[in-house]
Amino acid sequence: MEDKELEKGTPGEDQEEAKKTQAGMLGTENEEETAKTEAPDDEKEEDQEKGAADETREKEEAEAPDGENGKKDAKKKGFFNKKKDPKDTQIEELIDRLKRTMAEFDNFRKRTEKEKASMYEIGARDIIEKMLPVVDNFERGLASVPEEAKGTPFADGMEKIYKQLMKTLDDLGVKPIEAVGKPFDPDFHNAVMHIEDENLGENIVAAELQKGYLYRDSVVRHSMVQVAN
């Protein structure tokens, strides 16, 4: 019995040990709560310190534009305003000169082609003007053939030569100007006579004394006409 009572201990000792255990547990809980409540305050302080440091840095940058910011801007400007290599400048000048030369040569080529076409047209007009009297003589010769001679081999041969000549001129762009029965037009007709004819209207071509011709829609020779009324 005595041994069992010793193992159990006295009631006073048990109460003291229970109090100590409770006190230890309460102390641990208080420490954890303190750590929880103190941790956010520390984080807040750190955030406040960072914010204050950022504000200070922004103020320094704003108040000192010639400082580090100025150096950064100078570096940026220096990067964009980097001095060109003399070789690059020379290449650009040569390319520009080449483009100008090519443009001038193209203009010269077009001007030369235009002058050649103009010279060709002038030469063709000169030859056509010299051939027109031959055409006039053919027409007069065919008109003077007597009735009994028409249909003979000679007359037929002359008619064929005349038609061949007119076809050649037509292929070259030479066309006769229509005059008889048309209103008088000073751009195409040259009035040399005037008659009164009640059967014709005013300023109407009554007769054609000499045939006029066009070469590529330009007048080579005006028609010599007789105008009525």
Q: How many CA atoms lie within 13 A of 90 on its CB side?
A: 3
Beta carbons of 223 and 190 less than 8 angstroms apart: yes
Asked, colleague to colleague, whether 89-172 and 175-229 share their fold, the answer is no
Name the residue ranges covered by the structural domains of the chain: 89-172, 175-229
Domain at 89-172, CATH from 3.40.50, 3.30.870, 3.30.1370, 3.90.20: 3.90.20
What one-character-per-residue DSSP string does 18-70 give?
HHHHHHHHHHHHHHHHHHHHHHHHHHHHHHHHHHHHHHHHHHHHHH-TTSHHH
What is the reported pLDDT for 8? 43
CATH number of 175-229: 2.30.22.10
What is the reported pLDDT for 114? 87
What is the reported pLDDT for 55? 66
Alpha-carbon gap, residue 129 to 23, rounded angstroms? 139
pLDDT per residue of the chain (229 residues) written in tens, 0 to 9: 344 443 444 444 455 555 554 545 544 445 544 444 444 455 555 556 666 666 666 666 555 555 455 555 555 555 555 677 888 888 999 999 999 999 999 999 999 998 888 888 888 889 999 999 999 999 998 988 888 888 899 889 999 999 999 999 999 899 999 999 899 999 999 999 888 888 888 889 999 999 999 998 889 999 999 999 7
Alpha-carbon gap, residue 179 to 192, rounded angstroms? 13
What is the reported pLDDT for 82? 61
What is the reported pLDDT for 4? 41
Beta carbons of 188 and 222 less than 8 angstroms apart: yes
Alpha-carbon gap, residue 221 to 122, rounded angstroms? 14
